[in-house]
């Protein structure tokens, strides 16, 4: 270790760009792990004899711990060094991936998924904060964060596609083994390409702040997921309320500390809070609509999982390309114009979904995905750069963790609100009295969801099965239309908010200095 301060670097070179390439891989992987089990859950549940409750924990424990620990890990990286935390998390993620792939029981898989969640929480804010360290030049940093954001957003969309392709050739554990070569590469190349910059006198990570942050985030995530699953009961609402209370206590505690876990001064920047809100709400719409659209192409249009994945892949490609191109476009079009225009474009893409029918709607669905993702990609790419760039260098990990927490909550909120609105319309339209010839038990099963309708139709005589499926397809498409209208309205509102936050004359964050963070460099 050297105690000398690194020399100023005006612009990044080949080593920094190679470092970015290394950082985007775990970012892509961690995002992919949220959704890669969507198609693998049935075979792994059968193989491990997992109960319904165990299946929920297998799916949810990863996201719970990633969301709950992001703020803590962001603050920890600011104190002990972001590269050190990243490499430790990579080693844990790789080892847990192997154990998850070869789990012999549902309990073992739940535990290994939990370890993956803890490790994933170390990776996300560390990678984003290191991008800010590698690229001191504001323009280069914006381009680099655009590529990083493209990888993050693409990972979630690629999860079901990759999972479906792997399941056609291998067993369910192969979905976890994807993480092993990525983490081996990160452990080998990280010490050579990534700098270690940390304060000469790092502050203490206060245990009470960590506990309060967990008590604030985890109940909210749990409550939102319960609402998304249709469990709109007292427990879900109480959990969200408890999270809000603990969140208020967390904020109060941070204001009293000289070295807080989360620097609340970040929210003093005029655009910081509004852009976080825009990314949260935009992510919510995107998550809810994409879930319904993926079910539409499979359950209504009848595509296989692999076919559906291939037809949904243009969304991933569009997101990656447009996120990477956004910083370059922003040099010609002011962000105060570019981002609202993108959100209006996304609203137009949502409105295209209202033209979907129960057959022949695949071209419209694909065009809608391309338009929506092209519109929102610049918002996430430039919004993330604004959030991270507004933080002082020594607090980059905290800023990155806030940005990531907003994204994760946005996905949960989208499932609980936007997607649930579509499902509510479906259930309302699936009136058992309007299904002549369909037994009451089958009609009740069909009302639970379109998957249930497909299963209920299989043993029925042909006329009754056709009537049931026609009604289910029509009801689900109607729910998708309502979801599209809600999404379009939200995007228009977000365009107005973004315009107000970024309008000319509004205070903007100061450019990051050209020298890296003062402190020991390894």
Other beta carbons within 10 angstroms of residue 72's beta carbon come to 22
pLDDT band, very low/low/confident/very high, at 519 (cuts 50, 70, 90): very low
Q: What is the pLDDT of residue 371?
A: 92
- How high is the pLDDT of residue 508? 44
Q: Quick one: which of 222, 289, 217 has its CA closest to 490?
A: 289
In this prediction, residue 509 carries a pLDDT of 41
What confidence score (pLDDT) does residue 492 get? Answer: 93
Question: Maximum distance among all alpha carbons in the chain?
Answer: 81
**Average pLDDT for 288-315:** 77
What pLDDT digit, counting tens, does each position of 150-200 carry? 777 777 667 767 776 777 777 778 878 877 888 888 888 888 888 776 666
In order, the DSSP letters of 221-251 are HHHHHHHHTT--SHHHHHHHHHHHHHHHHHH
Rounded to whole angstroms, how far apart are CA atoms 150 and 155?
8
Cα distances (angstroms) measured from residue 12 to each of 5, 17, 55, 241, 521: 17, 7, 46, 46, 17
Q: Coil, helix or strand for 427?
A: helix
d(CA 374, CA 319): 6
The pair of three-digit structure tokens given for residue 444, joined into one six-digit string: 């009740």
pLDDT attached to residue 345? 93
Report pLDDT digits (tens) over 114-161: 888 888 888 877 787 788 777 777 777 777 877 777 777 777 667 767
Whether residue 512 contacts residue 470, with contact meaning beta carbons closer than 8 Å, is answered with no
Q: How many residues does the chain have?
A: 522
Count the helix, strand and coil residues of the chain and give each as a percent rounded to the nearest 5.
80, 0, 20
Residue pLDDT, tens place only, 436-465: 667 777 777 777 777 777 777 777 777 777
Give 521's pLDDT tier (boundaries 50, 70, 90): very low
* DSSP conformation letters of 495-513: HHHHHHHHSTTS--PPPPP
Phi, psi of 178 (to 5 degrees): -55, -30
Tokens of 329: 């476009």
Please give the distance of CA 296 from its chain centroid, rounded to a whole number.
Answer: 21
The CB density around residue 518, as the number of other CB atoms within 10 Å, is: 14
Query: Nearest 5°: CA angle at 348, between 483 and 472?
Result: 30
Predicted confidence (pLDDT) per residue in 209-228, tens digit? 778 888 887 787 777 666 65
pLDDT of residue 392: 60
Name the helix (H) or strand (E) containing 324.
Answer: helix 305-330
> 342 or 58, which is more confident?
342
Task: Please indicate whether residue 247 or residue 38 has the higher confidence score (pLDDT).
Answer: 247
Q: CA angle, 445 as apex, 304 and 473 as ends, to 5°?
A: 45
Mean pLDDT of 390-410: 64
Q: Is 505 left (phi over 0), alpha (psi -120 to 50) or beta?
A: left
Instruction: Give which of 480, 450, 481 is closest to 468, Cα–Cα.
Output: 450
Report d(CA 217, CA 403) in Å as an integer: 14
Helices (H), 33-137: 41-48, 52-80, 82-101, 106-134
Q: Which pLDDT score, from 0 to 100, does residue 39 have?
A: 62
Instruction: Give CA–CA dist 26/183, Å, rounded.
Output: 7
Q: Do the Cβ atoms of 27 and 122 come closer than 8 Å?
A: no
CA dihedral of residues 166, 172, 178, 183 (deg, nearest 10)? 180
Average pLDDT, the chain: 76
Residue 522: pLDDT above 60? no
d(CA 519, CA 84): 15
Contact 150, 321 (CB under 8 A): yes
pLDDT value, residue 286: 80
The predicted-structure confidence for 344-394, as pLDDT tens digits, reads as follows 999 999 999 888 877 777 888 889 889 998 888 888 878 777 777 666 655
Backbone angles phi, psi at 2, to 5 degrees: -110, 145
CA separation for the pair 34, 157 (Å, rounded): 10
> With pLDDT > 90 as the criterion, what percentage of the chain qualifies?
4
- Please give the pLDDT value at position 366: 87
């Amino acid at each position: 270790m050297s105690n000398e301060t690194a020399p100023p670097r005006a612009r990044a070179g080949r080593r920094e760009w190679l470092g970015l390439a290394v950082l985007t891989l775990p970012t892509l992987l961690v995002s992919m792990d949220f959704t890669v089990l969507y198609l693998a859950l049935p075979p792994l549940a059968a193989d491990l004899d997992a109960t319904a409750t165990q299946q929920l924990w297998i799916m949810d424990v990863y996201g719970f711990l990633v969301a709950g620990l992001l703020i803590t890990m962001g603050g920890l990286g600011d104190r002990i060094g972001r590269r050190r935390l990243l490499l430790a998390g990579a080693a844990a993620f790789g080892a847990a991936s192997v154990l998850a792939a070869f789990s012999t029981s549902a309990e073992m898989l739940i535990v290994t998924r939990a370890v993956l969640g803890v490790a994933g929480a170390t990776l996300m804010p560390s990678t984003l904060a290191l991008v800010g360290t590698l690229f001191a030049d504001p323009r280069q940093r914006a381009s680099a964060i655009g590529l990083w954001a493209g990888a993050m957003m693409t990972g979630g969309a690629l999860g079901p596609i990759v999972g479906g392709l792997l399941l056609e050739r291998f067993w369910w554990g192969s979905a976890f083994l994807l993480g092993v070569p990525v983490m081996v590469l990160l452990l080998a190349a990280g010490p050579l390409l990534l700098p270690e910059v940390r304060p000469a006198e790092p502050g203490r990570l206060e245990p009470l702040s960590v506990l309060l942050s967990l008590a604030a985030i985890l109940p909210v995530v749990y409550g939102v997921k319960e609402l998304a699953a249709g469990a709109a009961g007292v427990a879900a609402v109480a959990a969200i309320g408890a999270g809000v209370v603990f969140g208020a206590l967390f904020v109060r505690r941070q204001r009293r500390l000289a070295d807080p876990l989360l620097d609340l001064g970040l929210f003093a920047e005029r655009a910081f809070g509004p852009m976080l809100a825009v990314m949260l709400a935009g992510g919510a719409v995107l998550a809810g609509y994409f879930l319904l659209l993926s079910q539409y192409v499979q359950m209504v249009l009848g595509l296989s999982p692999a076919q559906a994945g291939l037809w949904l892949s243009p969304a991933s490609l569009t997101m990656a390309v447009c996120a990477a191109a956004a910083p370059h476009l922003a040099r010609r079009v002011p962000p105060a114009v570019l981002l609202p225009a993108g959100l209006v474009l996304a609203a137009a893409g949502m409105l295209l979904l209202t033209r979907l029918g129960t057959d022949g709607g695949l071209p419209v669905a694909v065009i809608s995905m391309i338009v929506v993702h092209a519109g929102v990609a610049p918002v996430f790419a430039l919004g993330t750069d604004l959030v991270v760039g507004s933080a002082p260098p020594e607090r980059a990990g905290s800023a990155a963790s806030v940005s990531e927490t907003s994204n994760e909550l946005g996905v949960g909120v989208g499932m609980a609100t936007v997607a649930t609105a579509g499902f509510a319309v479906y259930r309302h339209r699936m009136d058992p009295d309007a299904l002549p010839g369909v037994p009451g038990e089958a009609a009740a099963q069909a009302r639970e969801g379109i998957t249930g309708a497909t299963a209920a139709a299989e043993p029925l005589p042909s006329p009754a099965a056709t009537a049931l499926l026609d009604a289910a397809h029509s009801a689900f498409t109607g729910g998708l239309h309502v979801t599209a209208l809600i999404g379009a309205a939200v995007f228009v509102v977000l365009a107005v908010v973004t315009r107000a936050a970024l309008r000319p004359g509004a205070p903007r964050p100061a450019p990051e200095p050209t020298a890296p963070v003062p402190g020991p460099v390894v």
